[in-house]
Amino acid sequence: MNNIFQTLVYQREKKKDTVLATIIWDDGSAPRGKGSQMLVGAEGLLAGTIGGGAVELKSIRLCQELLASGGSGFVREFKLSRDGELGMACGGDVTVLFSPARLDDARWDETAVEVLRRVRQRTPGWLALPLDGGAPRVTERPETDENSFSVELPVGERALILGAGHIARALVPLLRTVGFRPVVLDDRPGFATAENFPQADDTICAAFTPLEDSVTLTPEDYVVIMTNGHEHDFQCEVQVLRRETAYVGVIGSRKKTAYVNQRLREAGIPEEKIAFVHTPIGTAIKAVTPEEIAVSIAGEMICVRATRREAAGEVHHGCPMH
């Protein structure tokens, strides 16, 4: 959503109308679920996605027709079956809301500014979209009336990366592209710099102990520990495991893991907390280079995030990935 509204602002500065397309309902297997959005201009897709393929292509064309006609917004249902108009085999249905963002409606400017402010400052909120295709507004909680649809603002999960080495430099931009908000902390002035991590929300040069002097951990945080030394890793792990977090991953071999786990027990860390740690970190894709290891870490974090969202009641789409 952040990229969509940044693009919206840019298009309005260029004096161009756009259309915001939002999936407001889905059932069965579909490429993307409700809340997915894309922004379309007269020339085609500008930002975001509602799943690609036939649904997105048809929706882009409808957006372009809407811009050309000057008409009002509308809702359209797509059946993703072989006998449906799109000839798809997913087996689900999606409903898309088409909201024209015309230059003569200043409410779009106000909403865009507020969305970008809240995302930047990690302030929770909701984007309320009238089902008649009118301009959206930002609200403190989801709208409950039948005439609007609400999308939660993507303030993003914070990813606290302890250690600013080669893997961190590969990981930060990757995490940013998949919706995490990276924060990097290292005690080395030449490593923990904004120049090294331009995509990070923050780069902190400070001692690893005590962490609470520099950062406050929350139950929604994802923590990656990969400092420049085993002792720093251990000290960070002890501190993090004494707090509640969404994810903890620690780099290192299985031999190092066994040694550290014994030290954690001696430090009074309960077994269930030790078992909570993802170590060796990352999905098993035989990664070797910093860039490959970053991909394996990001993949593991995406999986944990999706699992947590499902546990919280969010329905995961059934297509195209399992």
CA 67 to chain centre: 29
> Which pLDDT value is given to residue 124?
86
> Which pLDDT value is given to residue 271?
96
Task: Report, as an integer, the average pLDDT of 251-268.
Answer: 93
pLDDT of 121 above 90: no
Other beta carbons less than 10 A from residue 168's beta carbon: 28
| Percentage of the chain exceeding pLDDT 70 | 93
In tens, the pLDDT along 31-85 reads 678 899 999 999 999 999 998 888 999 999 999 999 999 999 999 999 876 555 5
Whether 13 and 120 have beta carbons less than 8 Å apart is answered as no
Spatial CB neighbours of 103, under 8 Å, sequence gap ≥ 6: 12, 15, 16, 17
- Mean pLDDT comparison of 86-95, 129-138, 153-162, 309-318, highest-scoring range: 129-138
Is residue 26 very low, low, confident or very high in pLDDT (cuts 50, 70, 90)? confident
> Which pLDDT value is given to residue 81?
60
Of 108, 156, 153, whose CA–CA distance to 130 is shortest? 108
Q: How many helices (H) and strands (E) does the chain have?
A: 8, 13
Higher per-residue pLDDT: 146 or 63: 63
> Which pLDDT value is given to residue 85?
55
Task: Report, as an integer, the average pLDDT of 163-185.
Answer: 95
Give the span between the Cα atoms of 33 and 321, in whole angstroms.
12
β-pair partners for 269: none
